[in-house]
Amino acid sequence: MISILHDKLQKTAEALRAARTSLVKEHGETVLSSVTIEQVFGGMRGVPALVCDTSSVSADEGLRIRNIPILELTDATPEEIFWLLVSGERPNAEELAALKDLFAPHYQIPSYVVDTLKAMPKDAHPMAMLSAGLMAMERESAFRKAYDAGAGKDELWKAMFEDSVRLIASMAGLAAAVYRVRFHGGSVIDAPAGEKDMSNAFAHMLGISNDPAWKDLVRLYLVLHSDHEGGNVSAMTSYVVSSALSDAYYSVSAAMCGLAGPLHGLANQECLRFIIDLEKQFGGVPTEEQLREYAWNRLNSGQVIPGYGHAVLRVTDPRFTAFYDFAEKHNINDDNVKLVQMIYNIVPGILKEQGKAKNPWPNVDAASGSLLYAYGMTEFDFYTVMFGVSRAMGLCAQMLVNRMMMSPIVRPKSLTIAEMQSKA
Ligand code: HAX
């Protein structure tokens, strides 16, 4: 069955290489943009220096996966999304069955990985555990073995595909093991026998609830966080690391370290902390006036409002909208969710009035945590791990595309301050 997937990806690889060769040969000297000193000091903001075919993010619409708006993909499964990211098409029934057959044996992670997690300090951050678990699993890499055995550059994508499938499937078992070891005394739950569906297996291994709505939330969560083009911290990290022909385990582990930052993936945990702190301070849902005062105090003390703003987006993140719609559809009526709605009504106005944030609207992290909390996942240190399980799909898909294109090692040029001053 794997051959039907390989055959399709072989064609994808050929098309990618042809596009790359012709662009470089016929338009190699075309200038895409100039780079200003402000951009160099400003985190390379807006510099078009990366290729990413899996997804795109526009300021006025947000995420499209292979040119499909994310709000049209909210019924998909993670396996479908991975294949769409990699191949550019949603899988047909045969391809989907083949993918599920490849994923299913790896929901159960090796016991030495669980031992690694158990050996970590009791107060280790779940993201540190996730990254360490991936490092422990590096010995499984088919890519490293293929490279060591002398596989040619044009063939390496096959080993990257093998690693990607195993890594993504293992993320379900690994993340669930992090959750059980860190928060439930180490009682790890085995992958359900015969379960082929990744989000169902993951929901089961977390051991939180059997509510079908919870399982659907896990599925939606995995779909919505899967990719966000190539320039964000985690995607760029895995791209750079893998460009040195480091395998997917090294690359995704490094990316998870970036995702763990509060300005990137950790924002979902920070959002819920913000909400819980608000409720603690006011003994429940505050009044609008109290919320305004709380938000202003936070801004005036130099802190950000988590879940709001974005480096690219200038509208409400459609992924926020998808979670918001989920809450309404399932009639989730708890205080945290009410607060998410209240913050959405008030904070954009405050951020506009303050005039600093270029985008006063919510990003994906503003709503996701309150939904997880509502279904019983109350350990918000864990939320970024949920994000990581999903994002591994986009990271692997992007690395796979780069291996198919036989992209070279990344090596931009840095300048000293004196060199910069001499150009000013
Ligand atoms: N609250 C307060 N101030 C904010 C803000 C917010 N939510 N968003 C931006 N600003 C401030 C910035 O800190 C910056 O201030 P300084 O000039 O004093 O440095 C100013 O507004 C301009 O920033 P920007 O150009 O609008 O935003 P950036 O591209 O620099 O940063 C961030 C984008 C997402 C990092 C930013 O909006 C932020 O810190 N938001 C809160 C944290 C958050 O929600 N992060 C998750 C983003 C989504 C994601 O990657 N998830 O993984």
Q: Average of pLDDT values for 33-37?
A: 95
Percent of the chain residues past pLDDT 90, beyond the cut: 94
pLDDT of residue 334: 87
Residue 1 is inside which H or E element, if any? Answer: none
Percent of the chain residues past pLDDT 70, beyond the cut: 100
pLDDT of residue 267: 85
CB-based burial label for 222 (10 Å; 0-12, 13-18, 19+): buried
Question: How far does residue 311's CA lie from ligand 1's centre (Å)?
Answer: 7
Q: Average of pLDDT values for 32-57?
A: 96
Set 106, 247, 310, 317: catalytic member: 310
pLDDT of residue 270: 87
pLDDT at 268 over 90: no
Q: What are phi and psi of 224, to 5 degrees?
A: -70, -30
Pick from 406, 387, 75, 408: nearest CA to 235: 387
Q: Average of pLDDT values for 319-345?
A: 93
Helix, strand, or coil here: 71? helix
Which residues approach ligand 1 with their CB closer than 6 A?
232, 263-265, 267, 299, 304-311, 356-359, 363, 365
pLDDT of residue 2: 79
Residue nearest atom 49 of ligand 1, based on CA coordinates: 264
The domain locations on the chain are: 78-262+378-404, 267-374
Q: Give yes or no for a contact between 190 and 199, defined as CB atoms under 8 angstroms apart.
A: no
Return all residues near 374 (Cβ < 8 A) that are at least 6 apart: 327, 332, 334, 336, 337
Pick from 297, 301, 294, 265: nearest CA to 380: 265
pTM of the model: 0.94
Residue nearest atom 10 of ligand 1, based on CA coordinates: 357
CA distance 100 to 116: 27
Q: Which atom of ligand 1 sits closest to the CA of residue 358? A: 26
Q: Give yes or no for a contact between 327 and 366, defined as CB atoms under 8 angstroms apart.
A: no
Q: Tell me which architecture the domain covering 267-374 has in CATH.
A: Orthogonal Bundle (1.10)
CATH superfamily name and code, 78-262+378-404: Citrate Synthase, domain 1 (1.10.580.10)
